[in-house]
Structure 1
Amino acid sequence: MQSQSPTTPIFTVTSLSKVYGTGPAAVHALRGLDPTLPEGELVVLLGPSGSGESTLLNIIGGLDRASNGRVIFQGNLGLKLVCKVPALRHVRILPMWLGTP
C-alpha cells in the first residue's frame, strides 16, 4: 500500500484570537485557534450559537480582522485587507437560518 502525500493546506491559522470590546466587558470570541484547512477537503464548523464559528469564517474569508494571530492563504501570509477576493473564492458559508428549522 502506498502512503498518500500530505494535502497542501489552503489556509493555515496560527494563534488566532478575536476580542470584541475592552476591559471587563470584553468578549473573547476566539482564543488561540490553530486550525489547518487542507485544500480540496470539506470542513464543517459546528457548535452552539455564539461559540465563534461565524467569527472564524469571517476572519478566514477576509471579511473581518483578528485581534491576534495570523491567517496564511495558499502559503502567503496575508488577509490583512478586509474582503480579499481570492480568499473568498475558497470559502463557502451556509448560514444556520438556511438550514433545517
Structure 2
Amino acid sequence: MFTEEERQVRVFATSMMMMMMMMMVVLVVVVVVVMVVVVMVMVVVVVVVVVVVTDDDDDEDDDDDEDEDDDDDDDDDDDDDDDDDDDDDDDESNGYDPFQL
C-alpha cells in the first residue's frame, strides 16, 4: 500500500502535528494563566490604593472632627458658665421643662 519511505514521512508529519498542537495548547494555557495573574495583581493594587486613600481621608476627617469636638467641648464649658447665670436653664438642667404637658 505505502512504501516504507512514505510511511516514515506520514509518521513524522503526524508526530510533528501532534507536537505543534500540544505546544499550542501549552501556549494558550500559559497565556491564560499570565493574564489571570496580571488581573489579580491589578485588583489587589487597586484595592490597596483605595483602602489607603480612604483611610488617609478618614484619618484627616477624624482629626478635624476631634479638633471640632474639642472646640465644641470648650463651647459647652462656656455654655455651662452661662447656664449658672440663667435661672431658666438651671430648671431645665434639673429635668424641669415648663413646656412639657
> Quick check: TM above 0.5?
no
Query: TM-score w.r.t. structure 1 length?
Result: 0.17
Decide which structure has greater strand share.
1
Rg bigger for which structure? 2
Query: TM-score w.r.t. structure 2 length?
Result: 0.17
1 or 2 for the larger relative contact order (CA 8 Å, sep ≥6)?
A: 1
Decide which structure has greater helix share.
2
